[in-house]
Structure 1
């Protein structure tokens, strides 16, 4: 059974829109099912998840970003020689005592890859069989998961299980709150500029080589500032590089890393013509950045301008 958070756990200084208020009402009402919150980017799904998680009166709970969770699941699955039960035991541990989570909250649940889909199916079957309550957020309606038409039919039985075990809640308010600058995060303090960058990591280095989300997570373990240079228009790169960049920005956003992007195109042109996976969320998150005009640094006695307080990795 899904635990409830008291309705006052969703009290805040801003007024909830109708979709957010309806979601809060559902999450504060007893129910036998978990919950699947989905909707367009920037509608407050993560805020609702965090408020719910904080308000639930149990210590047997775990809240994770799906990228991190799935990386750990992969590692535990191989470590335990492909035993999904042993892997789930590991990742449901909430602390050093081995206390197992009875509530698992995923932020940004998604399925793009058929290989991942098979493991996700086994994971969900195991969690549902154990009676673990799931509350997840996603930019995708359940029926839109694993959208590749070659593979989607094989995932339909798992989608049906999601709809059977989770209450589907659409959070589709009229405002993308990221676009109105309400974040105040370190990530949002970053910049997007057309000035060439001479230090940092290039887009090619980070996204055109075969890198996993786990590689990005390891890179960011001790990093709070990052510079990425030579960022091209998304339409100009292949779908794999585009997806890696979307995954990288997801990780940077979730870990609240300040990033200075030195791009080859203005931010408003970056995603034009690209309809690849997660493009809408990617563009929305980048939209929180400050955009700096192109300024040719003059060779003065003080030398070229530098970004104040930046640390490059």
Structure 2
């Protein structure tokens, strides 16, 4: 049985749009299945997940960002000599009882190697009766979109749809782009001046780096400077994906970041498309001008 909080915990001083209200209804309705919240960027999925997690009456729970969870799963998998069951036991630990509720933020699958481990992970979680509540920009059928590998993942997608109620959170407003955040990340800047110190785009994204490397980078800092950022279309696909992953980590860990680029933010992703690019630009759109509270969509001089 999925832990179920009362509906009133989603009552706020702002009006929920219809999609958010329907998702809140689903999260507060008793049921045996988990919940898969998916939809475009900035629609409030993470807020819904966090509100649910903070108010369910159980201590046997974990809330994780998918990048962090997958890094820990890899580490436990190797530490436990490639036993997925032992690795899952490790990461479900809460200090008292193993987690019976696992909340994933930003669930996605791009790499076939990761997909194989995710298949085994989900099998192990479902075998233990762990309830999943998930957010994603991808509908289940759109996971692992590469047509060469997608058919391999279809059985896992079907299992997800059997175990989780799929709820679309597709309201009309990208609340991040509307500038409603007061986070530390949102206090960062996008500048067209040469930066000093920090790390270059090439250092962080052109070399082979994992999200685990980015998580380690920000473990002991709340601020970061990234310089020499080119137009996204001029970077190769791997560097562009790494930059998207890096911004995911910076956003989730709430690290104030000053981005020094050679193009204005509104030109940065011209010629690029896809859900990861949409999420990237939605998050970057929260950045403020150094001299005003306006969203940094135009050229900003530092």
For Structure 1 versus Structure 2, the TM-score category normalised by the shorter chain is over 0.9
1:198 to 191, 196, 200: 196
Give secondary structure in 2 for the equivalent of 1:19: helix
Residues 2-51 of structure 1: per-residue CA shift (max 9 Å, x gap): 11111111111111000000000011000110000000000000000001
Give secondary structure in 2 for the equivalent of 1:179: coil
Match of 1:64 in 2: 64
Unaligned ranges ≥5, structure 2:
291-298
2:99 to 101, 118, 129: 101
1:271 is the counterpart of 2:269:
yes
- The change in CA–CA distance for 1:59 and 1:201 in structure 2 (over 3 A counts) is same
Match of 1:75 in 2: 75
Match of 2:293 in 1: none
Match of 1:38 in 2: 38
State the Cα distance separating 1:109 from its structure 2 match: 0.2
Give secondary structure in 2 for the equivalent of 1:180: coil
Moved over 4 A (4+): 292-295
Measured in 1, the distance between the counterparts of 2:166 and 2:300 equals 46
Q: Contact 2:184 / 2:256 at 8 angstroms: preserved in 1?
A: yes
2:231 to 226, 229, 233: 233
Measured in 2, the distance between the counterparts of 1:230 and 1:13 equals 41
Q: Please report the RMSD computed on the Cα atoms of aligned residues, expressed in angstroms.
A: 1.1
Measured in 2, the distance between the counterparts of 1:10 and 1:245 equals 33
Measured in 2, the distance between the counterparts of 1:198 and 1:52 equals 42
State the Cα distance separating 1:291 from its structure 2 match: 3.8
Q: Contact 2:264 / 2:300 at 8 angstroms: preserved in 1?
A: no
Residues 217-254 of structure 1: per-residue CA shift (max 9 Å, x gap): 01111110100001111000111000000000000000
Measured in 1, the distance between the counterparts of 2:197 and 2:185 equals 19
* Bigger CA radius of gyration: 1
Match of 2:21 in 1: 21
Match of 1:50 in 2: 50
Match of 2:115 in 1: 117
- TM normalised by structure 1 equals 0.92
Measured in 2, the distance between the counterparts of 1:56 and 1:294 equals 43
1:261 to 259, 262, 278: 259
Residues 169-226 of structure 1: per-residue CA shift (max 9 Å, x gap): 0000000000111110000000001011122100000000000000000111111010
Residues 230-286 of structure 1: per-residue CA shift (max 9 Å, x gap): 111100011100000000000000000000000010000001111256100000000
Unaligned ranges ≥5, structure 1:
296-306, 308-313
State the Cα distance separating 1:294 from its structure 2 match: 5.2
Q: Contact 1:134 / 1:166 at 8 angstroms: preserved in 2?
A: yes
State the Cα distance separating 1:94 from its structure 2 match: 1.1
Measured in 2, the distance between the counterparts of 1:40 and 1:286 equals 15
State the Cα distance separating 1:72 from its structure 2 match: 0.2
Q: Contact 1:9 / 1:54 at 8 angstroms: preserved in 2?
A: no
State the Cα distance separating 1:164 from its structure 2 match: 0.4
Match of 1:301 in 2: none
Match of 1:150 in 2: 148
Measured in 2, the distance between the counterparts of 1:67 and 1:112 equals 12
Residues 94-143 of structure 1: per-residue CA shift (max 9 Å, x gap): 12x4x200100000000000000000000000111110000000000000
Give secondary structure in 1 for the equivalent of 2:145: coil
The alignment covers a number of residue pairs equal to 294
